[in-house]
Amino acid sequence: MVSFKNVEKKYPDGTVAVDGLNLDIKPGEFVVLIGPSGCGKTTTLKMINRLEECTSGQINVNGKDIMSLNPVLLRREIGYVIQERGLMPHHTVGENIGTVPQLLGWPKDKIDKRIDELLEMAGLSIEKYKYRLPGQMSGGQQQRIGVLRALASDPEVVLMDEPFGALDPISRESLQNELLDIHKKLKKTIIFVTHDISEALKLADRIVIMRQGKIEQVDTPEEILNNPATKFVETFIGSEQLSQISPESSVEGLIEEVIYSMGLNANIRDVLEKMQDMDIKSGQVLNTKGKWCGSVYMSTLKKAKREGGLKVNEALHVNRKLFIEEANLRDAAEMLIDKEGIPIPILNASNELLGIVTENGLAKYTINKLIK
Amino acid sequence: MNNQNFIESFIDYVSKNYMRILTATGEHIYISVVALAITLVTCIPLGIYLTRNEKIAPYVIAFANIFQTIPSLALLGFLIFIFGIGNDNAICALFLYAMLPVLQNTYTGIKNVDHGTVEAARGMGMTNLQILMKVQVPLAMPVIISGVRVASVWIIGTAALAAAIGGGGLGRLIFSGLSLIRDDIILAGALPATLLALFTDFGLKKFQYYWIPEERAKRIARKLKVDYSN
């Protein structure tokens, strides 16, 4: 159904994202691409519908060389689900599901019928959901709609780019089960990207483990677990499979994006207002070179304001931080409890801010590990 | 002059000169509408073009910004050398003034549409034009219109200066009131101009609401007679 022959993707700056990839995907197969970030799994997926173009080699979909097809028409023939924010926020759920049929020029009543049919299949009440906006629904519900949208025009191939990556464990679990049901029922060829090995083991007919643009092993979940082909595969499935929470493990997996950062000269009053708006209790202060200078907390900022302070550099906290190289979960947990859960900045050795660790993130991580 | 007298003389002036005020208002609307139309027709497409050629965007926006820094009366004066005196000159000056908010808001509005949404639209097989018309423009519309609101209020306000270079509009009343030191005539010019600006802004605000996704979903629900409440 989908085949790669010596496919290579090289970016103009010389980095090779995918290097000499050969892979044959059979009709109706559920294939999961997995590997550490930067291994080329997403690039591989996007080359199939030409959101990325391969620089050499050949990709066939349904026996046809995709480079000979019009990319826009090709994409309409292939279902596509992305991680988050993939639904059109200004279109109702029904319109979102009907996007591709509409692009294909189906008659209106046929589209309408198809939308109802899909909502029914997913067990979503038509009157309750069809005319709603995606923004009014939970993340899990939105992803469910995203999957339905990809199935709307009944494509033979569906691409999924970490579709459940941002969901809480419980919704993820139920969406995975529904996807398995759909796959059993409709026999679509599904190509699925994830970085979560347990998700791969659960869903895949075959798992493709990638590393630095190359395939390390392609096999069924059982074979990969029993006979890992390389040392890398062994550690990859091993490390991910550990379900205990070790207080000694690195905080790396917990790092979240910084929500609010400011310069040293930011005005205390503006910062306080912004924090209130965003409903957060702290922010990170960076200098003009992007190096971390300290954190500010709402409580101490308020105090500084009362005492007549003007700039945030008068109320910096510089000691509460962790360095990525040495910080482990225990440090993070102790630090979080100590200051009522105010996020901790994570720095690298040259004082650059990598992100923050939050109470919520730690809780989620723990829940995840417990459920696995 | 006490208040009683002022109101009486104002009413007296208006009742005797209502035709003059109406004509001036008509001219004012004409100048403003033409200036705004030229601004929209040029700056919205230009703003969209800039999102596709980001390298030149800062230069073009900086260029549009230059005109904001020139005092409006001086700009009108400069343009006399090109257009002579009259309404054309004023329209051109108003256009140069109103460029920045429309251009800037179109540019940032389109650019701030979530990248994931655009990528999803492309992945489903929309052409670039479809992505623009079905996704980027509708989502950027509230931001674009807020630029248009700023531009239109500026235009209506500044259009009064057209009279200074021999153009028409409510500015004529204001200027003649100034030279005769008659508050009632100044008010007869200023009041309609203010009302025009307020009404335009109000209308555009309604139009801005029209583009909010929630409102759209409610309209669809009403049209199909389905319940939209959660």
Using one digit for the tens of pLDDT, what is the confidence trace for A275-297? Answer: 888 888 888 998 888 888 888 88
Q: Which of A75, A87, A135 sits opposite B125 (nearest CB)?
A: A75
Max Cα–Cα distance, chain B, nearest Å: 72
Closest CA of chain A from B38, distance in Å: 29
A217 touches chain B (CB under 8 A): no
Separation of alpha carbons B160 and B194, rounded Å: 11
CATH classification for the domain delimited by A2-241, as one of 3.40.50.2300, 1.10.630.10, 3.20.20.80, 3.40.50.300: 3.40.50.300
A23: three-class secondary structure by DSSP = strand
pLDDT band at A80 (very low <50, low <70, confident <90, very high): very high
The arithmetic mean of pLDDT across residues B50-70, rounded, is 91
**Average pLDDT over all residues of chain A:** 87
Chain A hits for B227, Cβ within 8 Å: 127
Domain ranges of chain A: 2-241, 251-371
Contact between chains at A90 and B114 (C-beta distance less than 8 A):
no
Q: Tell me the Cα Rg of chain B.
A: 22
* Chain B touched by A51 (CB under 8 Å): yes
The set of residues, in sequence order, having a beta carbon less than 8 Å from that of A268 and lying 6+ positions away, is A301, A304, A305, A309, A310, A311, A312, A314, A315
- Measure the CA–CA gap between A317 and A319, rounded to whole angstroms: 6
The whole-number pLDDT of residue A159 equals: 94
Output the pLDDT for position B81: 84
- One-letter amino acid of A54: C
Cα of A353 vs its chain's centroid, Å: 21
- The domain ranges of chain B are 3-224
Pull the structure tokens for residue A18: 């995918």
Element (H, E) at A34: strand A30-34
CB contacts, 8 Å: A92 with chain B:
217, 220
Question: Which candidate, A224, A196, A222, places its Cα nearest to that of A208?
Answer: A224
pLDDT at A355 over 80: yes
Query: How close, in Å, is residue A91 to chain B by CA atoms?
Result: 7
Give residue-wise pLDDT tens across range B64-107: 999 888 888 888 888 888 888 888 888 998 999 899 999 999 99
Encode pLDDT of A60-70 as tens digits. 998 889 999 99
Q: For B197-225, how does the pLDDT look when each residue is reduced to its tens digit (9 = 90+)? A: 999 999 999 999 999 888 888 888 888 87
Q: What is the pLDDT of residue A245?
A: 63
- Comparing A319-328, A363-372, B106-115, the range with the smallest average pLDDT is A363-372
Q: Can you tell me the ipTM of this complex?
A: 0.80
3-state secondary structure of A193: strand
C-alpha–C-alpha distance, residues A106 and A234, integer Å: 49
Which of A30-39, A138-147, A326-335 is least confident?
A: A326-335
Judging contacts by C-beta atoms under 8 Å, the chain A residues touching residue B214 are: 133
DSSP symbol at A151: H
Over residues A163-193, the pLDDT tens digits come to 998 888 888 889 999 999 999 999 999 999 9
d(CA B44, CA A196): 44
Q: What is the CATH topology of the domain spanning A251-371?
A: CBS-domain (3.10.580)
* pLDDT score of B1: 52
| Tokens describing residue A301 | 């900022």
Please give the CATH superfamily to which domain B3-224 belongs.
MetI-like (1.10.3720.10)
**Token pair belonging to B157:** 């306000």
H-helix or E-strand spanning residue A355: strand A353-357
H-assigned helices in chain A: 41-48, 71-76, 93-97, 99-103, 108-121, 126-129, 139-151, 169-186, 197-203, 221-226, 231-241, 268-278, 298-306, 329-338, 359-371
Question: What is the average per-residue pLDDT within B118-123?
Answer: 93
Q: Which of residues 116-135 of A touch B (CB under 8 A)?
A: 127, 130-133, 135
pLDDT value for A252: 77
Residue of A nearest to B221 (CA): A131
Q: Which region, left, alpha or beta, applies to residue A48 given φ > 0 means left and ψ of -120 to 50 means alpha?
A: alpha
Q: Is A215 helix (H, G, I), strand (E, B) or coil?
A: strand
The b-or-e profile of A80-104 (16+ CB within 10 A means b, else e) is: bbbbbbbbbbbbbbbbbbbbbbbbe
With a cut of 80, say whether residue A8 has pLDDT above it.
Answer: yes
Mutate which of A80, A87, A88, A97 to disrupt the B interface (most B C-beta within 10 Å)?
Answer: A88
Within an 8 Å CB–CB cutoff, is residue A149 touching chain B? yes
pLDDT in tens, A217-234: 999 988 888 888 888 888
The answer to whether A175 touches A144, Cβ cutoff 8 Å, is: yes
Share of chain B above pLDDT 90, in %: 60
- Tell me the mean pLDDT in the region A6-25: 89
Query: How many Å apart are CA A102 and CA A153, to the nearest integer?
Result: 9
Per-residue confidence band for A372, with pLDDT thresholds at 50, 70 and 90: low
Over 90: is that where the pLDDT of B123 sits?
A: yes
Q: Which of B97, B101, B100 is nearest to B70 (CA)?
A: B97
Whether the per-residue pLDDT at B171 is higher than 70: the answer is yes
Q: What is the pLDDT of residue B36?
A: 95
pLDDT at B148 over 90: yes
Q: Is any Cβ of chain B less than 8 angstroms from the Cβ of A84?
A: yes
The pLDDT > 70 percentage for chain B reads 97
Interchain CB contacts (distance < 8 Å): A and B: 77
Residue of A277, A259, A245 lying closest to A357 (CA atoms): A259
Residues ≥6 apart with Cβ < 8 Å to B56: B50
Question: Which range, of A313-317, B36-40, B96-100, averages the lowest pLDDT?
Answer: A313-317
Contact residues, chain A, for B138 at CB < 8 Å: 90
Tokens in use for A57?
């080699």
Please give the helix or strand (H or E) that residue B5 lies within, else none: helix B3-52
Contacts of A219 (CB under 8 A, 6+ apart): A206, A207, A227, A229
Q: What pLDDT sits at residue B131?
A: 95
Number of Cβ within 10 Å of residue B78's Cβ equals 11
